[in-house]
């Protein structure tokens, strides 16, 4: 699977330069308005040339973007790739026959080479006399020499490459609708791995060529569509019914099949997801809601997506987009389309099929989609990301496990030292819709459109060296705020600050590393001192000190060193439920003046020993104990 990890990094890098395409579409659409009739002909010219300029220099943007993405945002790598493109352009333009022009494929190739060279040679040391060319400057030297040699060789092999591309285009044209059917299936499957951008780069930016009225040659389904090629748009039109209608219908089906007590929250989350998908074509939050829960449904979804591509081909529908197949691009680019109005009834039909199919499948096979189980709901991230980020970082294996963290529109894309340390269950409780391990330490976590904000907060944590203590769940059950404990002393935080739990099993485990400093005679409460000087109190139930008969059994003694998840006390849960005021079990820090800031996981079901349900940052690193 390591090759998938490498492709993930490339796919992430390829996304970046495509972000400029929506501005090109807007400019071209504005330029197509009747400005001459309004007495402002220059507005049309400015907007049209500006939009076409983005497409003309798209290979250069891909070169810089891919190099920048693969080199962990290293500026010299992007500069080296751009210099390589300039060299390529001059050699092929002046020494070639005119048939060689910069393409996005060349841009991606130069970006890959520059990014790889930067990662490998940015710290290279040369003899002192030529050390000026060492380090990151060596990448510029390398790319200058390589691009010169590459461009010269390409002059001789271009006729054979062009013949191969012509054969590929001819093959796809011979396959007709079936070829688009296969493309549609492969597109949806690769979406699950975040690799669909690699496929799209071939068909959207390489397949086919078109000569504009001004004499420029543009390649690829997407640039050809915006250049006015009437045959372009075949690899994009079939995506509109899926993005605008089918996937929002799945969101509605998930809402309808949610439990009544969870439906209000699910409705809020998935109506937003449906609207985002309809307007912009960002679909991953919906797709990942059932990808892992029912992979066979995702396969069916991929086949139906391929069928939509085939259907639009047979109906001679041509439409395109700059970003994705959402309503914004649909109406923005409608003036360039052909028979695009047919996509509306096709989409409505697809919407009904998807809605009833998914409702039936969810109910028939008891698929645990969000809202059908407590732990599957997606969180409302607004305003809470800084507080959740420390817990997300811990679920990813901690600071020491992170090599690199990036993000695209809907997912974190990480490289970790050991992907076995990534806690999928904890991430799910923190709002993740899916976790993908691609091998080689490459991991993707789907958090929806807040992924970029989460990445920023996680990177802030990686750059800071704060004294932090992480707490695991001491029991299996449901976590609740300390203010909800039915006891005024705990609820008012007179004992200390923290959280509480409603246990479902009669076992109490240690939430932290530390030393047992006190066990109450009745064994209903236990005190732990952490190496950082925190004093932690675990109190089983409310008013349980009055219970007689040995319903608590401690398996540790004062002075014992303990670690997270280690069993501390066994207790008779049924008896406590019947005779105590409450089974609420507070976990509080009795010296909260040591704490600078607090972070809490969502107040919902937790498993015994689950990391991390609470995180605190200390005022200093070493007070009352060993260094953290």
**Backbone phi and psi for residue 209, each to the nearest 5 degrees, phi listed first:** -140, 155
| 408 is an active site residue | yes
Q: Looking at 408, 525, 588, 606, which residue is catalytic?
A: 408
DSSP string, 131-173: GGG-THHHHHHHHHHHHHHHHHHHHHHHHHHHHHHHHHHHHHH
240: how many CB neighbours lie within 10 A of its CB? 30
Contact assessment for residue 350 and residue 308, using Cβ atoms and an 8 Å cutoff: yes
Q: Is 216 helix (H, G, I), strand (E, B) or coil?
A: coil
391: Cβ–Cβ under 8 A, 6 or more apart, which residues? 426, 430, 599, 601, 612, 613, 615
Closest CA to 139 of 59, 62, 84, 57: 84
Contact assessment for residue 441 and residue 5, using Cβ atoms and an 8 Å cutoff: yes
Distance CA 429, CA 553 (A): 31
Q: What is the end-to-end Cα distance of the chain in Å, rounded?
A: 36
CA–CA–CA angle 29, 245, 188 (5° rounding): 90
| Peptide bond just before 612 cis, omega within 30 deg | yes
Distance CA 60, CA 612 (A): 45
Measuring CA to CA, how many Å separate 323 from each of 19, 89, 197, 222, 273?
7, 27, 12, 10, 17
Active site residues: 408
């Amino acid at each position: 699977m390591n090759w998938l990890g490498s492709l993930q990094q490339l796919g992430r890098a390829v996304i970046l330069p495509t972000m400029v395409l929506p501005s090109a579409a807007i400019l071209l659409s504005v330029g197509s308005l009747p400005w001459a009739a309004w007495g402002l002909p220059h507005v049309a010219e400015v907007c049209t040339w500006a939009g076409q300029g983005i497409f003309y220099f798209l290979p250069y943007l891909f070169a810089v973007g891919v190099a920048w993405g693969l080199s962990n945002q290293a500026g010299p790598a992007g500069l080296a790739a751009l210099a390589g493109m300039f060299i390529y352009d001059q050699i092929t333009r002046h020494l070639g026959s005119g048939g060689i022009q910069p393409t996005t494929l060349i841009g991606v190739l130069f970006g890959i080479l520059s990014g790889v060279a930067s990662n490998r040679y940015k710290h290279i040391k040369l003899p002192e006399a030529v050390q000026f060319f060492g380090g990151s400057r060596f990448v510029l030297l390398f790319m200058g020499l390589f691009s010169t040699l590459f461009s010269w060789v390409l002059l001789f092999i271009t006729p054979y490459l062009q013949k191969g591309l012509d054969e590929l285009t001819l093959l796809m044209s011979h396959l007709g609708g079936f070829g688009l059917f296969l493309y549609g299936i492969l597109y949806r499957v690769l979406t699950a791995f975040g690799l669909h951008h690699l496929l799209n780069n071939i068909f959207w930016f390489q397949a086919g060529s078109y000569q504009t009225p001004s004499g420029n040659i543009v390649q690829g389904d997407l640039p050809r569509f915006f250049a006015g090629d009437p045959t372009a748009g075949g690899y994009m039109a079939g995506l509109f019914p899926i993005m605008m209608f089918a996937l929002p219908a799945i969101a509605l089906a998930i809402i309808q099949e949610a439990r009544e007590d969870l439906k209000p929250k699910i409705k809020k989350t998935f109506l937003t997801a449906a609207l985002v998908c309809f307007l912009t074509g960002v679909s991953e939050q919906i797709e990942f809601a059932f990808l892992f829960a029912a992979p066979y449904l995702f396969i069916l979804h991929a086949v139906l997506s391929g069928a939509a591509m085939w259907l639009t081909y047979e109906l001679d529908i041509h439409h395109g987009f700059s970003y994705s197949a959402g309503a914004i691009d649909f109406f923005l680019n409608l003036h360039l389309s052909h028979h695009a109005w047919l996509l509306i009834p096709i989409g409505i039909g697809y919407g009904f099929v998807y809605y009833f199919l998914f409702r039936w499948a969810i109910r028939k096979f008891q698929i645990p989609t969000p809202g059908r189980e407590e732990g599957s709901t997606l969180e409302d991230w607004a305003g809470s990301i800084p507080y959740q980020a420390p817990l997300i970082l811990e679920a990813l294996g901690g600071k020491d496990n992170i090599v690199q963290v990036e993000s695209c529109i809907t997912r974190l894309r990480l490289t970790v030292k050991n992907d076995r340390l990534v806690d999928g269950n904890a991430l799910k409780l923190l709002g993740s819709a899916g976790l993908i391990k691609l091998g080689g330490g490459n991991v993707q976590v789907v958090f929806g459109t807040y992924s970029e904000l989460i990445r920023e907060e996680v990177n802030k944590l990686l750059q800071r060296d704060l004294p932090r203590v992480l707490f695991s769940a001491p029991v299996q059950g449901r976590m609740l705020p300390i203010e909800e404990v039915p006891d005024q002393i705990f609820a008012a935080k007179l004992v200390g600050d923290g959280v509480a739990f409603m246990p479902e099993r009669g076992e109490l485990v240690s939430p932290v590393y530390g030393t047992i400093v006190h066990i109450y005679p009745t064994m209903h409460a236990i005190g732990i001192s952490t190496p950082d000087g925190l004093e932690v109190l675990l109190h089983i139930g409310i008013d349980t000190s009055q219970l007689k008969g040995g319903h608590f059994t401690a398996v540790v003694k004062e002075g014992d060193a303990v670690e997270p998840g280690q069993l501390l006390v066994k207790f008779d849960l049924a008896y406590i439920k019947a005779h105590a005021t409450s089974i609420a079990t507070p976990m509080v820090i009795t010296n909260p003046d040591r704490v600078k800031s607090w972070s809490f996981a969502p107040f919902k079901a937790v498993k015994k020993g689950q990391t991390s349900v609470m995180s605190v940052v200390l005022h200093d690193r070493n007070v009352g104990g060993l260094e953290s």
